[in-house]
């Protein structure tokens, strides 16, 4: 059975970090729509050029574009044995399109990472990413990337005005997804305000429990 995992949670909850760790530990791809868009911006593809201003304002790229990107990505061979989705869906329309994409596949396991608002603002305003490989920095006072030695910088959309807009957009457009998925037996929420290793432990346990439910009850897709 493939492990098809979806990470929910506001910006700064640690979705990317945890998705990366988990995907690597299971040898399945992490599909991060934010990473895909940032790469498209860097390589100046038509989608990237259109997305750049929207991202810099902290708003959402259109559902049609995002659904197309994810449909194509999940159809690739390497996602057949499972995947970790990070940053998608972000609207109910995207979630409903994902349900159609999932027809014929193993059920989605949905994990919501819960973190208080003040902690999110603190994390987003201090976080650094590598300007070369895009990885989140783990050591805040060192200005080079642990993974590739690249220079660390602030994400353009982590400036304080944009952070507030992104949190507003999250509450208006993405938080309703928690209710959308909560009714499923494969939904779990975890406390993301703990140290990353503890969150990773809780995540693994929650996935185990949700997977057990999926196998026993044949969850809706």
Report the nearest approach of ligand AMP to the CB of residue 103 (Å): 20
Closer CB to ligand AMP, 158 or 202, in the complex: 158
Beta bridge partners of 187: 110
User: So which residues are the catalytic ones?
Assistant: 15, 90, 127, 155, 166
Part in contact with ligand AMP (CB under 6 A); list of ranges 1-9, 29-37, 109-117, 132-140: 29-37
Q: Is 134 in the site for ligand AMP (CB under 6 A)?
A: no
Report the nearest approach of ligand AMP to the CB of residue 45 (Å): 14
Beta bridge partners of 7: 86, 111
Assigned token pair, 189: 């929420």
- Return the residue nearest ligand AMP (CB atom): 34
Contact set for ligand AMP, span 161-220 (CB under 6 A): 166
Report the nearest approach of ligand AMP to the CB of residue 34 (Å): 2
Q: Is 87 in the site for ligand AMP (CB under 6 A)?
A: yes
Which of 61, 115, 135, 145 touches ligand AMP by CB under 6 A?
61
Q: Which residue do the tokens 């990885």 mark?
A: 135
Q: Is 34 in the site for ligand AMP (CB under 6 A)?
A: yes
Q: How many residues bind to ligand AMP according to rule CB under 6 A?
A: 17
What CA–CA distances, in Å, run from 203 to 77, 82, 122? Answer: 26, 16, 22
- Binding-site ranges for ligand AMP (CB under 6 A): 11, 33-34, 37, 54-55, 58-61, 66, 87-88, 90, 94, 157, 166
């Amino acid at each position: 059975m493939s492990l098809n995992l979806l990470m929910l949670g506001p910006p700064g909850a640690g979705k990317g970090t945890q998705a990366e760790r988990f995907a690597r530990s299971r040898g399945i791809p992490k599909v991060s729509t934010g990473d895909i868009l940032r790469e498209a911006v860097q390589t100046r593809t038509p989608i990237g050029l259109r997305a750049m201003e929207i991202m810099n304002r902290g708003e959402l790229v259109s559902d049609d574009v995002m659904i197309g990107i994810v449909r194509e990505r999940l159809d690739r061979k390497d996602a057949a044995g499972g995947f970790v989705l990070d940053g998608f869906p972000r609207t109910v329309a995207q979630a409903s399109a994902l349900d159609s994409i999932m027809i014929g596949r193993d059920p989605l396991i949905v994990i919501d990472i819960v973190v208080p608002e003040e902690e999110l603002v603190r994390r987003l305003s201090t976080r650094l990413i590598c300007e070369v490989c895009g990885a989140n920095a783990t050591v805040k006072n060192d200005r080079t990337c642990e993974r590739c030695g690249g220079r660390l910088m602030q994400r353009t959309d982590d400036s304080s005005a944009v952070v507030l807009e992104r949190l507003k957009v999250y509450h208006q457009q993405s938080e309703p997804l928690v209710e959308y998925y909560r009714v499923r037996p494969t939904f779990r929420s975890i406390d993301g305000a703990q140290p990353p290793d503890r969150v990773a432990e809780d995540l693994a346990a929650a996935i185990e429990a949700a997977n057990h439910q999926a196998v026993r009850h044949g969850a809706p897709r």
